[in-house]
Structure 1
C-alpha cells in the first residue's frame, strides 16, 4: 500500500495492531509514522513508546509485545530494524511469526526498514495478512504530480496550469527528488503570499536558490539551439557564483534526455510511449520531443561524451569553467 492510501486508512480509523513501513523514501516513512502515532497516541506522550533499533533481537521484540502495559492503555512498540528481513534471520523468524499471528490486543507493533523487501518471504506475507504495509517508495519526477497536488491542498494553495507545469519541468531536471526539501520550500508559499492562487513568478521567487532553477533556462536554450541566449545565461550564471559543475550536471541530464528521446523517435515510438519509457510526464515529453527533433543523434552522442570529459576535467581542476562555452557552441551548431 502506498503512502496516500495508507494515510487514508488512518484518517478513517481503520487501525491495525501491526504495521510495516518499508522503503528508502525517509520523508514519507517519517510522515506516515508521525501521523500513525498521533492517531494512537492522542496525548503525544513519546515516553509511552518502546523503541528498538538494529541491535534488537527477535526475542527482545517478542517480549516487549507480550508485556502488559501498566500505566498506559496501549503497548506501543516501534522497531527500526533492517536485520529482521535479512536471510540470516530466517531460521529465527518462526517464533516471530507466531507473535504476529497472535498479536495481543493491547499491543501495536510498528516495524520500520529502509530495505526493499522480498515479497516472496513468508514473514512479509504474514505481515501483509494481519497488518498494514506502507511502501515508502522513492518519488520520481514522472510520478510526483499527486504528491504536489496533495501538498498544495495541505497549504491551502491552488497553482494555475502554467505554474504547475513550470514546477514539474523544474523537478524533472533534478537528479534526485527530495520530498523533504520540496516540502519545506513549498511551505514558504504560505508566508510569501496571502493569495490562494499560485503563479509562476511565486514559484520562481520561492525556489530561486535551487541550482536547477537557475540553470533551467540555460538548458532550455541549449535544447532549443538558441546559442546566443545560452551563452548569455551561462555567463550570467558563472558571474553570479553558480558552480560550473552544477550547471554541467543539469545540462548533461537535459542532453541525455534528448538523446534517449531521439533514439526512440528513430524507432517510431509515439509521444505517450516515449513519456512512459523515459519517465516523463506527457507535456514535458512533448516539449523535449520538439527539441530532440532539431538534433541528429550523432550530435547528441558526441555532446554526452564531451560533457563527461568536461565533468572529469572540472572536478580534477584541469579545465576552466569557460570550457562549457565551447561545448554549448558545438551542441547548438
Structure 2
C-alpha cells in the first residue's frame, strides 16, 4: 500500500485527504516529504504550506486555512500532527476541537487543498464515527514494519533514486549487518550509492567493506563464526569489540539474547510455526527470525538448552566477580566451538 501511495504522489495524482499513522516513523516522514516535494514548488512553500499540532491548535483553525485559496500557486498543503481524537487516547490536548467543523469539511473538501493527518499511533479507535469517516474519504497509509519482500523493493527503489543498482547479495548482507531500521538503512544506502557511483552499482564487496556494524550485528556474526567452527574469526570479532571499549558483560548479554532467539525459533519451528507467526510471537522482525532459523538448524534442542544454562552461569560469575570476565567469554567460545557445552 505504501508504494502505491508513493507512486500516485510522484505522478501528482493527489488525494484531498491523507491519513498517515503507525509505528514506522520513516514511512510517515517520507510520505510527508514526497507530498511537499511534489505538491508545491519551492517558491510556494512559505505561502502554501502550513503545519499544525492538534494538541495545541483547534481543528477549526486548520480547516479555515484549508478553505483559504492558495496564494500564487495551484494548491495548499496542510499537515496536521497528532490527531489524537482519532484514537482512544485523550492525548495532551490544551484545546477543545469543534469536530463537527471537520466532519462537514470531509463531506466536501476544498479541491485546491491537500489535508494530511499524521500521527505515530499504533492503532486508531475504529468505533468512532469520525475515524470511520476519515478512513472512508482519505488515502490511508498504515506505517508498519516492511516485510522482507517490501524491504527489498524499497532498497532497490532507494538505490535507483541515487542513480545506481544494488545486487541481491548486497541487499541481503546489508540487511544482516544493519538490521531493519529504515533511517539507518537510508544512511547506509546513500553512502554506498556515493561510493558505487562510478560503477553505477552497489556490490556485496562494497557492503562488506563500508557498512558499519552495530554491537548486535557483530555478535550475530561472532555466533555465526562459532557455529561454523571458525573460532579464530569469532575471537577476532570479540577482541575488536573489547578494543572499542564494549564491556564483556554487555557482550555476554547480547550473545545471550541471540541464543535465546535461536532457542525460541528452534522450539517454535518444532511446533509448526511459520516465520511470520514466530516473529509475531517473539515480537521481532521476520528477517531476524529467518537468520536465527539458519543458525538453529546447526544445534539440537538439548544443546541449546545447555547453552542457555551455561550463559546464565557465566552471567552469574561475571556479576559476582567469581572469574575474569574476558576469560569467561573466551572459555564459552572455545567450548561452544568444540560442542563441549556440558562440561563448561
- What's the TM-score once normalised by structure 2's chain length? 0.78
SS of equivalent to 1:294? coil
Correspondence list, 1:111-122, <5 A: 111-118=117-124, 120=126, 121-122=128-129
Q: 1:93 aligns with which of 66, 81, 99?
A: 99
Matching residue of 1:205: 209
Asked whether the 8 Å contact 2:278–2:289 carries over to 1, the reply is no
**Aligned equivalents of 1:248 and 1:30: distance in 2?**
36
Asked whether the 8 Å contact 2:60–2:97 carries over to 1, the reply is no
State the 1:206 CA deviation: 1.7
Deviates more, 1:138-147 or 1:20-29: 138-147
SS of equivalent to 2:145? coil
State the 1:182 CA deviation: 1.3
1:136 aligns with 2:137: no
**Aligned equivalents of 1:85 and 1:312: distance in 2?**
48
Distance 1:37 1:208, change over 3 A: closer
1:190 aligns with 2:193: yes
State the 1:307 CA deviation: 4.4
Matching residue of 1:323: 328
- Name the count of aligned residue pairs: 323
**Aligned equivalents of 1:214 and 1:42: distance in 2?**
45
Gapped regions of structure 2 (runs ≥ 5): 280-284
Matching residue of 2:225: 221
Correspondence list, 1:235-254, <5 A: 235-244=239-248, 247-248=251-252, 250-254=254-258
Gapped regions of structure 1 (runs ≥ 5): none
**Aligned equivalents of 1:316 and 1:130: distance in 2?**
61
State the 1:188 CA deviation: 1.1
**Aligned equivalents of 1:83 and 1:283: distance in 2?**
33
Matching residue of 1:51: 51
Matching residue of 1:303: 307
Matching residue of 1:160: 167
Matching residue of 1:36: 35
**Aligned equivalents of 2:294 and 2:143: distance in 1?**
35
**Aligned equivalents of 1:312 and 1:45: distance in 2?**
63
Asked whether the 8 Å contact 1:85–1:117 carries over to 2, the reply is no
Distance 1:307 1:129, change over 3 A: same
Distance 1:308 1:81, change over 3 A: farther
Asked whether the 8 Å contact 1:224–1:291 carries over to 2, the reply is no
SS of equivalent to 1:144? helix
Asked whether the 8 Å contact 1:303–1:327 carries over to 2, the reply is no
**Aligned equivalents of 1:26 and 1:312: distance in 2?**
38
State the 1:7 CA deviation: 0.4
State the 1:113 CA deviation: 0.6
**Aligned equivalents of 2:75 and 2:229: distance in 1?**
64
Deviates more, 1:2-11 or 1:136-145: 136-145
**Aligned equivalents of 1:248 and 1:145: distance in 2?**
32
**Aligned equivalents of 1:317 and 1:101: distance in 2?**
69
Distance 1:108 1:313, change over 3 A: farther
State the 1:73 CA deviation: 4.2
- What's the TM-score once normalised by structure 1's chain length? 0.80
**Aligned equivalents of 1:223 and 1:91: distance in 2?**
59
Correspondence list, 1:163-174, <5 A: 163-171=170-178, 174=179
Asked whether the 8 Å contact 2:174–2:211 carries over to 1, the reply is no
Distance 1:289 1:190, change over 3 A: closer
Distance 1:291 1:192, change over 3 A: same
